[in-house]
Structure formats: C-alpha cells, structure tokens
Amino acid sequence: MAKLMLFDIDGTLTRTENGYLPFNQAIFETFGIAGDIRSVVPDGNTDPLIVKDIFARAKIDIEISSEVWERFTANLQSCYRRHVQQGSTAVRALPGAAELLGEIAHGTGYGVSVVTGNFEVTAQVKLEAAGLSAYLSRGAYASDSAHRPDLPVIAKARWEQFVGRTIGFEDCVIIGDTPNDLTAARQNQMKCVLVGTGRYPVEELVYWRPDACWADLSDTQCVLTALGNL
C-alpha cells in the first residue's frame, strides 16, 4: 500500500551542535539586536515563531515586515553555511536515520519527505551537512507557514505533484520528536510516530498518545515493520 512518511528534521533525523551560533548571528545581522535562541524552547516550534519568542522574552517590541523576514532567512542560510564549513556548528544524522531513509526510499516504495519548522534554505543546509538530503523529496517548511499544523497538507500536495498521484491523509505518517509534531498530524488526520531523540524522553512522549513511540530510529527492521502496520 502507498504511504507517505513525513519526517521532522531537528531531534528526529538530525542533531545540531552549537546551532545557536548561526541563529544568534543571523538575528544580530538582521535586527542589530543580540537575541539568544538559548533563552527559549525552540523544539517543535517554527523559526519565525522562535524569533518572535526570543524578542518577547527580551521584552523587545518589534514589527517584522516580509522584507525583513526575507533578509533574516538569507542571513540564517549564509550564517549556517559558514559555521558548518568552519566546523563551529555541526549537524549530524541521528542513529539509524540514514539507514532508515535509505530502506524506506529504496526498499518499500513509500514516499519520503519533510515537515519542518526550519526555513527551506536552512533545512537544506542541515540535511546536506548530515548527508540525508538525497533521500527526501521537497516537503513543507517554516517559509511556507509559521503555523506548523498548516505544513502537512502542503508537504502532501508537493509529494502528490512530484509523483503524479494522490494519497489519503490516513496513509500519511508524521515522524517527529515533540507534542507539536503530534498536534500537526492530528489536525490533518494523519498518523504520528514520536521518537525520544529530541528534548522529550519516550516516557513523556507516550503520555501524548502517538500511534507509536520509540527511543530512536536505530532498529531499522523493527521501525519499518511498525510503519507498515500503521
């Protein structure tokens, strides 16, 4: 049966070391303000809302035009590229992520794409740095909407256009690491699996009652069987 797997990036497929360096630098270059992403909980949020949270926490009242958002996005992309190239920021695939994506893409015929709170350009930098970009078709990003529950239907439509056929919402599975991933799935009548490789341990994720919950993605065969049975 056809299925579409929609992966979150941060905490699900990849982990970034010192990701605050390019993020904070992009804030400073764009707004001239020394905002700090470490002052907020970014997990499961989208980049535009993370920026707004940072300013709200610092009690900075600022209107951000679409032009300024474009400048921030470009700055974030170039800062990320620079820090990754210099080695001051590292993006690594989480255990089992590459093996699982390879198996799904080549061994099952399922579609594989992303639903992420990153802007598309920074998602690309992260996935390339982690060696995962080749497995994933174009999905949905914070550059499409800052409201995460808007994203699954966009990713689904892009995949349908890419392969030239439609798929039911019930045959789409969101794989994420936060309650926000689950909310986005449920609001779109999609299935949801949560993994404990981000901020939240499995015991906490189970409480939110996803369709399945794993410590990580390292047991490829077990994960594939479970995804097939959803």
- The binding site for Mg ion (CB under 5 A) comprises 8, 10-11, 177
Place of tokens 């904070």: 24
Closest approach, Cβ 45 to Mg ion, in A, equals 9
CA-based nearest residue to 198, from 7, 2, 5, 4: 7
How many helical (H) and strand (E) elements, i.e. helices and strands, does the chain have?
Answer: 9, 8
Q: Go through the chain and tell me how many residues it has.
A: 230
Q: Which long-range contacts (CB under 8 A, 24 or more apart) does 64-70 make?
A: 68/30, 68/31
Q: Which residue is nearest to Mg ion (CB)?
A: 11
Closest approach, Cβ 119 to Mg ion, in A, equals 14
Closest approach, Cβ 29 to Mg ion, in A, equals 25
∠ CA(36), CA(38), CA(43), 5° rounding?
Answer: 120
Of 22 and 30, which CB lies nearer to Mg ion in the complex structure?
22
Closest approach, Cβ 157 to Mg ion, in A, equals 22
Of 24 and 197, which CB lies nearer to Mg ion in the complex structure?
197
Question: By the 8 A CB rule, do 122 and 50 touch?
Answer: no
Of 8 and 47, which CB lies nearer to Mg ion in the complex structure?
8
Of 31 and 37, which CB lies nearer to Mg ion in the complex structure?
37
